[in-house]
Structure 1
Amino acid sequence: MSTGPRAGLAAGSDRPPAELFDVALLDLDGVVYVGPDAVPGVPGALSAARDAGMRLGFVTNNAARTPEEVARHLTDLEVPADPDEVITSSQAAASVVAGLLGAGARVLPVGGPGVAAALRAAGLTVVERAEDDPAAVVQGYGREVGWAQLAEAVVAVRRGARHVATNADATIPSPRGPLPGNGAMVGVVRDVTGVEPLVTGKPDPAMHAECVRRTGARRPLVVGDRLDTDIEGSLRAGAASLLVLSGVTVPATLLAAGPQHRPDLLAADARGLLVPHPRVTAADGGWRCGGWVATVDGDDALELRTAPGGTGQAPGDGLDGLRALCVAAWSRPEAVAAAGGAAAWIRVRPGDDAARAALAEWDLESR
């Protein structure tokens, strides 16, 4: 594939991305780690990517921790990182607020320690209560955020403070499944006050742009697990993207993705940096990838079948059929939507047990 942006999932990559792109802009939650633990195999993969000449930048919408804390956590997970390689949404929000209100402006932080630390680093004055007359409330994720902080934010916003959210992610990944993210807490303040917040984290391009500036990247690749932040953010930043399925995005959601949420490359996890990615080509009345063919049939429904001469089992990462389904669904989104949505169900021909098994592996319904 081209080293430029938006080559598209169909184009694939004849060479491993670590050899084509100079910097990987890595999301953290769901990409490098889930909860406190590394995604299996990812620390070794990132080390190998560095050995191949790729540099790493860490771009996270999680505002709870400082860059120093994030870097220590990554290093403990055997992903050596310097604080200067970490860009958090708290830093992006602090930069935006300082630009809007000027140095020294009074700001009420809501979230983990990383929020207040970023505000102070940007030359802003941190206050603790609505009665301190903050000009803005900056709200970011924090595990200890509760009623008291949310109440202060509500009162301050009602009194005229600007409500700024570091991100609007409704969920965060965890070993127990998706849990409430900053967006859920931001929704509380928004719903009570009736004021829409200014959201500064991904998909706003400021975070990726800052990481590009710091690393001097000329051919960046955004690696993320979320369509509405990482992938859309890559599009808005003019960078290519690799979606990994180790976080919150599931195949059903990917099939239904709109144009702004469609990745250039797809992998099970960040080990996808180290391998070529197969092309999806027009063939056999549909779209073929490896041993699979996906079509939109006469009833405007998706179908997956074993390709002529194929076994339905590819020697690669096991995602070839999903790649073919994505390109088929995206080629005729209106037709698929009219049939009940790409993820409603997918047809399988009688006797094609391999296709039915593949769909079950991706938690997609077959018919």
Structure 2
Amino acid sequence: MSRFIDAYDSVMFDLDGVVYLGPNAVPHAPEALAQLRELGVKVGFVTNNAGRSADVVVAQLKDLGIECRGEDVVTSPQAIAQLMVRELPAGAKVQICGAQALTDEIAAVGFTIVTDFREEPVAVVQGYDPNLSWPSLDNAGWAIQRGARWFGTNTDISRPTHLGMVAGAGAQIEALHTAVPDAQITVAGKPYPPLLQETIARMKVTSPVFVGDRLDTDIEGAHNVGIDSFFVFTGAHGKKDLAGAIPQQRPTAIGWDISGLLAPRRQASTLEDGSVTCGNARAEISGRAVQITASLTSVDEQLDALWAIVQLTWADETLDAAHALDQLDKLH
């Protein structure tokens, strides 16, 4: 039986919550990535995280036993830098509100880095900064109020770590937005197209699939550039998020982790009575509630049941699937 990945020439991975959690590899990720490369599948790593350089990401992946070269990693600072090159004058003054990794990428494409609004920057670029100071936010806001264009690496409100969820770049951007509520921000990271477009162009591929753990960034990002997506449960979002997903945030397929790419495609079938089957699971409507009939002893069986359930909730958003989802106790 064919594997899910056999339909694609390449796979692009989000990192946080998909390949690693903080300093630790997601279980089975290094082995699955090695198998994908053995099959000749092109592999790329895509991250919205603007707090670390591509070189730091490469070093971490190698430390985790994952083969990676510099050209395999595309970051949101790299993508926003290329977008700004297209939209701003060469050598223009740019004020940074972010980490050193962002400063380095903006400087590398020839912009003049300034640190104060009084230097009259033509643009402010903001990205996740683990050491963000309030004066830095104030200074960026004053520049924007004086006419500087506002660019952002990404708008992730939160991100997963090995210790739990933390506030992300989106939270920092929202803080600044309270001071400049009428300002428009141009964003490179998922779900906006530039980051994935940059990755596809760099990899020179025609049939990629994108793997992610967030519906509102990863899955919607894939939708926005017209490619398939594979959702995993090792990071931020879970079964209730999936059941209630809006159309542009519905993945092509699901798996517990990235090793699911090497398994057969999970198939759901709608029967004449309106019920849906997947594997040995059957989801049907009783009144306005979704009911599930299945063996639910393994993660794979629960994933089959979930895939059947979401076919119903996606077709009719008024259905109540709460009880059916609560039965899937191995899925978060």
**TM-score bracket, shorter-length normalisation:** over 0.9
Partner of 2:202: 214
Distance change (3 Å), C-alpha of 1:15 and 1:88: same
Question: When the two structures are superposed, what TM-score results if normalisation uses the length of structure 2?
Answer: 0.94
Partner of 1:227: 215
Q: CA deviation at 1:87?
A: 0.9
Is the contact made by 1:291 and 1:313 (CA closer than 8 Å) also made in structure 2? no
* C-alpha distance after superposition, 1:123-149 (max 9, x if no partner): 211111112211111111121112122
Distance change (3 Å), C-alpha of 1:59 and 1:321: same
Q: CA deviation at 1:226?
A: 1.0
1:196 to 2:173 alignment: no
Partner of 1:350: none
Q: CA deviation at 1:323?
A: 0.7
Partner of 1:293: 282
1:359 to 2:301 alignment: no
List gaps (5 residues or longer) in structure 2. Answer: none
Is the contact made by 1:304 and 1:346 (CA closer than 8 Å) also made in structure 2? no
Is the contact made by 1:292 and 1:321 (CA closer than 8 Å) also made in structure 2? yes
* C-alpha distance after superposition, 1:182-231 (max 9, x if no partner): 00000011011212322221112222122111111121010111111111
Distance change (3 Å), C-alpha of 1:312 and 1:73: closer
In structure 1, how many angstroms separate the alpha carbons of the residues matched to 2:134 and 2:257?
Answer: 36
Task: Give the letter aligned to residue 291 of structure 1.
Answer: N
Partner of 1:5: none
Task: Give the letter aligned to residue 159 of structure 1.
Answer: R
Match of 2:14 among 24, 27, 30: 27
Matches within 5 A, 1:129-148: 129-148=116-135
Match of 1:104 among 91, 103, 116: 91
Is the contact made by 1:268 and 1:317 (CA closer than 8 Å) also made in structure 2? no
In structure 2, how many angstroms separate the alpha carbons of the residues matched to 1:209 and 1:32?
Answer: 21
1:93 to 2:93 alignment: no
Task: Give the letter aligned to residue 330 of structure 1.
Answer: W
Q: CA deviation at 1:314?
A: 6.1
Partner of 1:9: none
* C-alpha distance after superposition, 1:24-56 (max 9, x if no partner): 111111111111211111011100111111111
Partner of 1:167: 154
Q: CA deviation at 1:312?
A: 4.1
Task: Give the letter aligned to residue 332 of structure 1.
Answer: D
> Which deviates the most, 211-220 or 314-323?
314-323
Is the contact made by 1:34 and 1:174 (CA closer than 8 Å) also made in structure 2? yes
Is the contact made by 2:50 and 2:99 (CA closer than 8 Å) also made in structure 1? yes
Task: Give the letter aligned to residue 134 of structure 2.
Answer: W
In structure 2, how many angstroms separate the alpha carbons of the residues matched to 1:35 and 1:151?
Answer: 29
In structure 2, how many angstroms separate the alpha carbons of the residues matched to 1:173 and 1:90?
Answer: 19
Match of 2:68 among 81, 84, 89: 81
Partner of 2:4: 17
Match of 1:332 among 308, 313, 316: 316
* C-alpha distance after superposition, 1:251-308 (max 9, x if no partner): 111100011000001011111111112211113641111221112332x2222223xx
* Identical columns (%): 35
Partner of 1:154: 141
SS in 2 for 1:260: helix
Partner of 2:24: 37
Match of 1:322 among 292, 306, 312: 306
* C-alpha distance after superposition, 1:98-134 (max 9, x if no partner): 2221210111111122211111122211111112211
Is the contact made by 2:23 and 2:162 (CA closer than 8 Å) also made in structure 1? no
CA RMSD of aligned residues (A): 1.8
In structure 2, how many angstroms separate the alpha carbons of the residues matched to 1:202 and 1:314?
Answer: 32
Question: When the two structures are superposed, what TM-score results if normalisation uses the length of structure 1?
Answer: 0.85
In structure 2, how many angstroms separate the alpha carbons of the residues matched to 1:37 and 1:97?
Answer: 34
Q: CA deviation at 1:17?
A: 2.8
SS in 2 for 1:153: helix
In structure 1, how many angstroms separate the alpha carbons of the residues matched to 2:35 and 2:306?
Answer: 26
In structure 2, how many angstroms separate the alpha carbons of the residues matched to 1:273 and 1:331?
Answer: 26
Is the contact made by 2:302 and 2:330 (CA closer than 8 Å) also made in structure 1? no
In structure 2, how many angstroms separate the alpha carbons of the residues matched to 1:223 and 1:215?
Answer: 16
List gaps (5 residues or longer) in structure 1. Answer: 1-13, 348-354
Is the contact made by 1:314 and 1:320 (CA closer than 8 Å) also made in structure 2? no
SS in 2 for 1:47: helix
